């Protein structure tokens, strides 16, 4: 029998260990225990989330592959598919920021090209603690450098993302990476090993000791004061190896030599071998003596659990070994035939002439318990009234925002990323969504990332609802039709009932939005245990949305800033004057200022009407109302542009407090600018669709922002000097006397 302390050290409960004994009919040896602990971990098995994830809609006529594969796939016409997925690398990025973030990029790239798709774009969603804390600045420096290093070296553009700063992320930063690829529909590949006797080919970097227990210890357990001791569990990446591995694998797949392929990601050789075999109903024999090793004296336990990067496992079609090996030699990629498929449904390991493991594949992959953990609802006591005075002058508000980490330009981040490599990027970072051309066609794809943990903490259902709605709205803002989403659900410990209630509520909100908007969830990831010493992060669903523009030549794609002096400025849609969960309320130390509701049916009509106006070529500028509300949307549309384009606008006095209206983030709304010639047609179309439209004034070329309420001027600001401060603000807040991170 294995000692209790060894079982618990593998992050297994004693009940789970008893279940393993029952499935095997005997006690496991240490190698087998390690494999079970990895594949039964929360990170690999989804044992606490499966019952809830099944609530998501996953099918649509354009869905080719939904959840359950390396990545999701949708049909985009002309014989092509879009392949995409989002993954987290949160705990590794806290323990080792540079390598944790870098290998997060490498892992999601492999998930996408394992489907036979060439990756064309990356995005990242980042969450850090406040930047007045030195450690948070160090974490951010390291994470951004790691993402830039890996993406730039491998030659895939990072075209956008988002970043938020909240105290709850100080000891649990979030690093979520979203990858999009393109593949011909008839050349898609899957991780399903179906034919006994086929050879198993190990391809890529040699196996080392890095990453051992990454899935079951680092990613499936809350942090405490021993977090630094987990540093050896973080993988070390090599983007140049990734590049040649990707090219070699794509060429082998294009040549039709592969039956199945999977990345050796979480749980390494164990997960890739067992999961491919389970999907196809086969067994596996692996000869561990043949596995290429980076260092001597690795044990079978270490070989099977290593999460060394840049490795793939391939199942070759019969008789294709020589052709595959020729391609790999030409690319200079290491490889070895390490085993073959069997028909007995077992995973067996041979090492130095002895059998060191023999377990049923099904027990490893799907024998784990599935938990429906209890959830306990909570409600935050609302403030009886807004506990600060209504601002009578917006100049100080806007100037403070411009210099704050909440609203400062993200240029410092995205200038470190090569966002033009592959020359597909049509809309660069800084817009509501990135746009990428699909080479060889007139089509383009839009992609965006969205998610507001603060609102999800106050109102989990509404937060989940709005995360999907805003992602779809951002894709709509460039004229694309939202098609499908991938999600990364970042939460605290599922063993904590309030966290589990948050999780259920967020999923129900997301589900309702998906159903009403007609959007399937085709892939995703759950990241639990994002807490340190019992302090969880905000519930943070991050939604990656992909939209389709069938013909880029059919209409001009609008931008998120002003482009033409004299354009008429409108805000269209609906704003609920409630400050609950808003940045403005948080800056005053308050979160809950009353209940929040969101009309998803109205959102559908709003997006349809806005998309139609864009596709008719009426709009030069479209910028959705979200963080900072209508006020910041208007200001940012000037700061993010060039030259002296500002505005001269007049608002009707709102029925509510001025700041409750201007700073509310509960909205199905956008700011648009259009030439005089299209005003009447635009207003008529919005009216016919039942969408409110409010004329504000004009884009000017005098370099000033002027906002009046009635006859009272509340804001007067010069664009150029404040644009320069805005562009430098984040970099200045991130300055350190010494920045240290491992490369």
Q: What tens digit of pLDDT does each residue of 691-722 get?
A: 999 999 999 999 999 999 988 999 999 999 99
Q: What tens digit of pLDDT does each residue of 288-299 get?
A: 999 999 988 899
Q: Residue 295: what pLDDT?
A: 87
CA-nearest of 476, 486, 417 to 446 is 476
Task: Give the whole-angstrom CA distance, residue 472 versus residue 516.
Answer: 12
Position 152 confidence tier, pLDDT thresholds 50, 70, 90: very high
Position 180 confidence tier, pLDDT thresholds 50, 70, 90: very high
- Whether the pLDDT of residue 229 is over 70: the answer is no
- Residues 158-169: what's their mean pLDDT? 96
CATH 3.40.50.1220 for domain 1-39+189-368, yes or no, is no
Q: What tens digit of pLDDT does each residue of 99-147 get?
A: 999 999 999 999 999 999 999 999 999 999 999 999 999 999 999 999 9
- Residues 406-419: what's their mean pLDDT? 93
Position 328 confidence tier, pLDDT thresholds 50, 70, 90: very high
- Whether the pLDDT of residue 370 is over 90: the answer is yes
Equal fold, 1-39+189-368 vs 380-408+556-733: yes
Q: Residue 223: what pLDDT?
A: 57
Position 436 confidence tier, pLDDT thresholds 50, 70, 90: very high
8 A C-beta contact, residue 503 and residue 539: yes
8 A C-beta contact, residue 282 and residue 196: yes
* Secondary structure (H, E, C), 388-415: CCCCCCHHHHHHHHHHCCCCCCCHHHHC
Q: Residue 566: what pLDDT?
A: 97
- Whether the pLDDT of residue 397 is over 70: the answer is yes
Beta strands 667-674 and 568-575: pairing type? antiparallel
Q: What is residue 246's three-state secondary structure?
A: helix
- Whether the pLDDT of residue 741 is over 50: the answer is no
Compute CA 182 distance to the chain's CA centroid, rounded to the nearest angstrom.
18
Q: Residue 743: what pLDDT?
A: 41
Q: Residue 451: what pLDDT?
A: 93
Helices (H), 260-410: 268-280, 300-305, 321-331, 361-366, 394-403
Q: Residue 430: what pLDDT?
A: 84
| Domain 380-408+556-733 in this protein, CATH class | alpha beta
- To the nearest whole percent, how much of the chain has pLDDT over 70? 96
Q: What tens digit of pLDDT does each residue of 542-565 get?
A: 999 999 999 999 999 999 999 999
To which residue do tokens 């090569």 refer? 418
Q: Residue 533: what pLDDT?
A: 85
Q: What is residue 556's three-state secondary structure?
A: coil
8 A C-beta contact, residue 546 and residue 82: yes
8 A C-beta contact, residue 31 and residue 156: no
Task: Give the whole-angstrom CA distance, residue 2 versus residue 30.
Answer: 8
Mean pLDDT of the chain: 94
Q: Residue 711: what pLDDT?
A: 85
Joined together, the tokens standing for residue 327 give 């391609």
- Whether the pLDDT of residue 740 is over 70: the answer is no
Q: Residue 214: what pLDDT?
A: 55
Q: Residue 71: what pLDDT?
A: 97
- To the nearest whole percent, how much of the chain has pLDDT over 90? 89
600-615 helix and 679-688 helix, angle to the nearest 10 degrees: 150
Q: Residue 422: what pLDDT?
A: 83
- Whether the pLDDT of residue 739 is over 50: the answer is no
Q: What is the dihedral of CA 90, 92, 95, 99, to 10 degrees?
A: -120
Q: What tens digit of pLDDT does each residue of 637-679 get?
A: 999 999 999 999 999 988 889 999 999 999 999 999 999 999 9
Domain extent listing, the chain: 1-39+189-368, 380-408+556-733
- Whether the pLDDT of residue 374 is over 80: the answer is yes
- Whether the pLDDT of residue 218 is over 70: the answer is no
Q: Hey, which residues are catalytic here?
A: 43, 89
Position 537 confidence tier, pLDDT thresholds 50, 70, 90: very high
Q: Whole-model pTM?
A: 0.94
- Whether the pLDDT of residue 492 is over 60: the answer is yes
């Amino acid at each position: 029998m294995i000692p209790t302390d060894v079982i618990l050290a593998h992050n297994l409960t004693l009940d789970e260990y008893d279940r393993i004994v029952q499935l095997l009919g005997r006690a496991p040896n240490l190698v087998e225990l390690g494999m079970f602990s990895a594949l039964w971990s929360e990170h690999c098995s989804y044992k606490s989330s499966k019952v809830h994830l099944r609530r998501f809609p996953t099918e649509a006529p354009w869905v080719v592959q939904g959840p359950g594969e390396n990545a999701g796939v949708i049909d985009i016409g002309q014989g092509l598919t879009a392949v995409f997925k989002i993954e987290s690398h949160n705990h590794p990025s806290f323990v080792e920021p540079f390598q944790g973030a870098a290998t997060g990029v490498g892992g999601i790239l492999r998930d996408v090209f394992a489907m036979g798709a060439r990756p064309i774009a990356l995005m990242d969603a980042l969450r850090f603690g406040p930047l007045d804390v030195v450690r948070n600045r160090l974490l951010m420096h390291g994470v951004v450098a790691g993402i830039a290093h890996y993406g730039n070296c491998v030659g895939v553009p990072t075209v956008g993302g988002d970043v938020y700063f909240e105290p709850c992320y100080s000891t649990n930063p979030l690093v979520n990476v979203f990858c999009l690829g393109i593949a011909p529909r008839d050349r898609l590949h899957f991780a399903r090993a179906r034919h006994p006797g086929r050879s198993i080919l190990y391809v890529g970097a040699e196996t080392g000791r890095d990453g051992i227990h990454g899935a079951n210890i680092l990613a499936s357990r809350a942090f405490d004061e021993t977090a630094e001791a987990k540093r050896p569990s973080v993988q070390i990446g090599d983007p140049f190896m990734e590049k040649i591995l990707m090219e070699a694998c794509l060429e082998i797949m294009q040549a039709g030599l592969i039956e199945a392929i999977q990345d050796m990601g979480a749980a390494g050789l164990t997960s890739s071998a067992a999961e491919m075999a389970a999907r196809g109903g086969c067994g596996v024999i692996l000869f561990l003596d043949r596995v290429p090793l980076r260092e001597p004296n690795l044990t079978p336990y270490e070989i099977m659990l290593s999460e060394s990067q840049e490795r793939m496992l391939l199942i070759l079609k019969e008789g294709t070994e020589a052709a595959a090996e020729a391609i790999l030699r030409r690319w200079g990629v290491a490889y070895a035939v390490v085993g073959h498929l069997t028909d007995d449904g077992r995973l067996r390991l041979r090492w130095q002439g002895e059998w060191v493991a023999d377990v049923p594949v099904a027990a490893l992959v799907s024998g784990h318990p599935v938990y429906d953990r209890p959830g306990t609802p909570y409600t935050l006591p609302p403030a009886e009234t807004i506990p600060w005075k209504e601002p009578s002058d917006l100049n100080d508000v806007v100037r403070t925002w411009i210099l704050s980490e909440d609203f400062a330009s993200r240029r410092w981040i995205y200038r470190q990323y090569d966002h033009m490599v592959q020359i597909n990027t049509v809309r660069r970072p800084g817009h509501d969504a990135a746009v990428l051309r699909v080479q060889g066609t007139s089509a383009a794809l839009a992609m965006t990332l969205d998610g507001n943990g603060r609102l999800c903490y106050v109102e989990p259902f509404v937060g989940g609802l709005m995360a999907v709605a805003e992602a779809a709205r951002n894709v709509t803002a460039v004229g694309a039709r939202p098609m499908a989403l991938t999600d990364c659900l970042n939460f605290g410990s599922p063993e904590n009932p309030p966290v589990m209630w948050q999780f259920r509520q967020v999923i129900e909100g997301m589900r309702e939005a998906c159903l009403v908007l007609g959007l399937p969830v085709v892939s995703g990831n759950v990241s639990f245990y994002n807490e340190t010493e019992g302090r969880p992060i905000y519930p943070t669903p991050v939604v990656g949305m992909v939209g389709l523009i069938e013909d880029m030549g059919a209409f001009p794609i609008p931008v998120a800033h002003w482009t033409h002096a004299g354009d008429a400025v409108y805000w269209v849609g609906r704003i609920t004057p409630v400050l609950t969960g808003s940045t403005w309320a948080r800056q005053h130390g308050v979160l809950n200022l009353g209940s929040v509701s969101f009309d998803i049916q109205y959102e559908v009509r709003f997006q349809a009407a806005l998309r139609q106006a864009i596709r008719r070529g009426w709009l030069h500028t479209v910028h959705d109302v979200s963080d900072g509300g209508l006020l910041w949307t208007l200001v940012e549309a000037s700061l993010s542009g060039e030259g002296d384009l500002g505005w001269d606008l007049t608002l009707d006095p709102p029925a509510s407090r001025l700041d409750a209206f201007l700073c509310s983030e509960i909205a199905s709304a956008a700011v648009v600018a259009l030439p005089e010639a299209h005003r009447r047609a635009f207003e008529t179309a919005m009216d016919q669709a039942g969408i409110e439209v409010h004329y504000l004034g004009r884009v000017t070329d005098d370099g000033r922002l002027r906002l009046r309420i009635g006859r009272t001027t509340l804001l007067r600001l010069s664009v150029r000097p404040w644009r320069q401060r805005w562009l430098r603000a984040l970099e200045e807040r991130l300055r350190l006397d010494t920045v240290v991170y491992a490369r």
